[in-house]
Amino acid sequence: MVLEATMICIDNSEWMRNGDYAPSRFEAQAEAVNLICGAKTQSNPENTVGILTMAGKGVRVLVTPTSDLGKILACMHGLEIGGEMNLASGIQVAQLALKHRQNKKQQQRIIVFCGSPIKHEKKLIEMIGKKLKKNSVALDIINFGEQDDGKIEKLEALLAAVNNNDTSHIVHVPTGSSALSDVLINTPIFTGDGEGGSGFAAAAAAAAAGGLSGFDFGVDPNLDPELALALRVSMEEERARQEAAAKKAAEEAAKQEKGEGQPSGTQDAMMTERANAATSEVDNKANDLMDDENALLQQALAMSMDDPDSGHETQDTDMSDAAADDPELALALQLSVQDGTKDSSSQSDMSKLLADQSFVSSILASLPGVDPNDPSVKNLLDSIQSQTGASGSNISSQQKNEEKEPKEDEK
Amino acid sequence: MSGDSASAIQRSQVDLVDFIDWSGVECLNQSTSHSLPNALKQGYREDDGLNLESDADEQLLIYIPFTQVIKLHSLLVKGPEEEGPKTVKLYSNKENMGFGNVNDFPPSDTAVLSPDDIKGKPIVLKYVKFQNVRSLTIFIEDNHSGSDITKVQKIALFGTTVETTDMKGLKKIEDH
């Protein structure tokens, strides 16, 4: 509820065309900006937010600090990408804009989105930080996109120069499946130094129709308890149903694939309902050590009959969406999930399997497209031997993916 | 700054600390652990161990609003010999000043403190400039040693009040 005037500095440089944040860096940034504006104006109706762009022809203030959310959102349209970001000027102009805010009682804050390399010297950046601190302006830095050598160092130096009593923050958003806004929602940038955290996030999520962030189903139990309860119950029922289906498929798979129940066999069982193509490919793999495989299979079955309400299941549900498109990805995901939940004995089983040269080469020999004498395959085997202890399963998934690729090439 | 003026202070001037509106007092570039009340508030300012210190660099900008209109007669600044303030500029009735615009208008008065003054000698100001003061901004530009941190042990203001109504003293007339 702090009374605050905020200036948001947007990076609209050429680097924002990149698609490593879905759908593109620029759009992920725009969404995050909308969320921040919503959150700020919600937390205190007298808060004002302004926006400026740092790249393009030059630093340009799109809207001076105002509490009118519509005006702010409108100015985000029609923004063009181009040029290079000028961080120093951007921050200085933001500071000036804040200085001329109408309500002098508001605390001053600048939020900078930094997605491209910083061409300024570290000294200059630090001096700017000191100036901000001197004028009691807080600074939030969102580091995403391009990471070059000195960028993180410069940003950390800037934060250290500005920070006064932890009012300033820095967030590093790595590329990945979660959206920029989702990552930001849980940071102090949104939660505002620990006051009214989740209510804030839920309101912001609702306001921007962002969906499932902050609260389980995008619905605040405080606002609508019956709806939240109904959603939660139906989710539980769905999970239970999926598990029962998985268990059944596992049993059937155990009957069908007794001779081929490798470690991947358990994944086969899980995947039967999702990716039949992958199943048929994996079926072709032969193996000698039936006993170990059966033991693993039993373990997996026991696991799927276990307590349904665990994080493991949640992971399954999430991953099924991602895995539906990509069978190889699904396999890799399943293996990594198995890693987290299996006990150490099975882990060492896997490792032992891989360490067993004869076992590995027998698998390879059975694959039509792979020649065990091929030098690249031999290199791969060597690397596996050396990495067996640490991440046996991950390597096996890598190995299987690589095995599949030659096969698919053949096809 | 002669001996006469020192006695002039005792005669009619009062310590204006009672008329400071504490809700509006602000200090830019102060260090969080060593803040303005250490130098201004009664009790704290007498303790030489408690200082107001600057943070990012050696300048300080102090804004003091008053509950009444006052006439400011003199200023007392006490600080250590090395890091105590040297050049002090005073601005009367200017709200919301920042380090950027201190040089935009001339100060109502400037005081350059000698090492002698810094021990706690009152400095007489241009009384004519401070006849109608609602708020005072004190800009400490540098210190004696030139170091990055300026330390102030005590700031005291002396003057008189203009005959304005003290709103807190007003009582509601009871209906008979």
Total structural domains within chain A: 1
CB atoms within 10 A of CB A269: 27
Confidence of residue A117 (pLDDT cuts 50, 70, 90): very high
What is the strand order of the sheet A4-10 is part of? A60-66, A48-53, A4-10, A107-114, A137-143, A169-172
A136: nearest CB among B28, B95, B96: B28
Residue A371 lies in a domain: no
How far apart are the C-alpha atoms of B20 and B40, rounded to whole Å?
Answer: 10
How far is residue A125's CA from residue A121's CA, in Å, rounded to a whole number?
6
Residue B175: what are its φ and ψ, rounded to 5°?
Answer: -75, 135
For the stretch B89-112, pLDDT in tens is 999 999 888 888 888 889 999 999
**Binning pLDDT at 50, 70 and 90, where does residue A278 land?**
very low
The alpha carbon dihedral of A334, A337, A343, A344 has a sign of: positive
Identify each DSSP E strand in A166-302 by its residue range. Answer: 169-172
- Confidence bin at B176 (pLDDT 50/70/90): low
> Which residue from A72, A56, A55 is spatially nearest to A7, judged by alpha carbons?
A72
In a domain, A344, yes or no: no
Long-range contacts of A234-243 (CB under 8 A, 24+ apart): A236/A309, A238/A317, A239/A308, A239/A309, A239/A313, A239/A314, A239/A317, A240/A308, A242/A313, A242/A316, A242/A317, A242/A320, A243/A304, A243/A308, A243/A313
Beta strands in A14-117 (DSSP E): 48-53, 60-66, 107-114
Q: Is B31 on the interface with A (CB under 8 A)?
A: no
Among A65-69, A143-147, A267-271, the least confident range: A267-271
Domain architecture of chain B: domains with CATH = 14-161 (2.60.120.470)
| Residues A384 and A399: beta-carbon distance below 8 Å | yes
Q: Is residue A274 one of the residues assigned to a domain?
A: no
Q: CB-CB: which of B29, B32, B95 is closest to A134? A: B29
pLDDT at residue A246 in the model:
85
Q: Which residue of chain A has the CA closest to B29?
A: A134
| Share of residues in chain A with pLDDT > 90 (%) | 28
Which of A98, A100, A105, A135 is the mutation pick for testing B, counting most B CBs within 10 A? A135
With a cut of 70, say whether residue A51 has pLDDT above it.
Answer: yes
Task: Report the distance separating Cα A103 and Cα A101, nearest Å.
Answer: 6
d(CA B28, CA B144): 20
pLDDT (mean) for A276-281 = 42
pTM for the whole thing? Answer: 0.59
> In chain A, which residues have their Cβ closer than 8 Å to the Cβ of B96?
104
**Which residue is it, tokens 């299987």?**
A400
- Whether residue A134 and residue B32 make contact (CB cut-off 8 A), yes or no, is no
How far is B51 from A169, CA to CA, in rounded Å? 29
- Look at residue A97 and give its three-state secondary structure: helix
Please check whether residue A141 lies inside any domain of the structure. yes
Q: Is residue A212 part of a domain?
A: no
Name the band, by pLDDT with cuts 50, 70 and 90, for residue A370. low
Q: Which residue of B has its CA nearest to A163?
A: B56
Which H/E stretch holds residue A32?
helix A25-43
Tell me, what's the pLDDT at A58? 92
User: Which one of A104, A133, A161 has the shortest CB-CB distance to B96?
Assistant: A104
Measured in angstroms, the CA of B130 and the nearest CA of chain A are apart by 25
- Residue B28 with chain A: CB contacts under 8 Å: 134-136
Q: What's A129's domain CATH number?
A: 3.40.50.410
Burial class, B77, CB count within 10 angstroms (exposed 0-12 / middle 13-18 / buried 19+) = buried
Q: Which of B23, B27, B29 to mutate to test the interface with A (most CBs of A within 10 A)?
A: B29
Residue of B nearest to A96 (CA): B100
CA dihedral B1, B30, A7, B94 (to 10 degrees): -20
- Residues in A whose CB is inside 8 Å of some CB of B read 99, 104, 130-131, 133-136, 161, 164-165
Q: Which of B57, B95, B98 sits opposite A130 (nearest CB)?
A: B57
pLDDT in tens, B38-89: 888 888 888 888 888 888 888 999 999 999 899 999 999 988 888 889 999 9
Q: How far apart are the C-alpha atoms of B109 and A238, rounded to whole Å?
A: 77
Q: Is A367 within a domain?
A: no
3-state secondary structure of A59: coil
Q: Is residue A154 part of a domain?
A: yes
Q: Which residue has the tokens 């009062």?
A: B14
ipTM for the predicted complex comes to: 0.76
For CA atoms A73, A75, A78, A82, give the dihedral sign: negative
Whether residue A23 is preceded by a cis peptide bond, meaning omega within 30 degrees of 0, is: yes
Among the listed residues A193, A191, A146, A189, the one whose alpha carbon sits nearest the alpha carbon of residue A170 = A189
- Residue type, position A67, single letter: S
Q: How many residues does chain A have?
A: 411
Using CB atoms, which residue from B28, B32, B96 is nearest to A134?
B28
| Identity of the residue in A104, A161, A165 whose CB atom sits nearest the CB atom of B32 | A165
pLDDT of residue A222: 67
> Residue A21's domain spans which residues?
4-25+35-49+59-191
Instruction: Look up tokens 């006469």; give the residue.
Output: B4
Residue A111 lies in a domain: yes
User: What length does chain B have?
Assistant: 176
- DSSP letters, chain B, are --HHHHHHHHHH-EEGGGGB-GGG-EEETB-SSS-THHHHSTTTTT-TT--EEBSSSS-EEEEEEEEEEEEEEEEEEE--TTTSB-EEEEEES--S--TTTTTTS--SEEEEPPTTTTEEEEEE--GGGGSSEEEEEEEE--BSS--S--EESEEEEEEEE-S---GGG--PPPP-
Handedness of CA A85, A88, A92, A98 (dihedral sign): positive
B148 Cβ under 8 Å from any chain A Cβ? no
Tens-place pLDDT, residues B122-134: 999 999 999 999 9
**Sign of torsion over alpha carbons A77, A81, A85, A89:** negative
Contact of B98 with chain A, judged by CB distance below 8 Å, is answered with yes
Query: Identity (one letter) of the amino acid at A364?
Result: L
CB-based contacts of A211, cutoff 8 Å, min separation 6: A205, A218
Summary mean pLDDT of chain B: 84
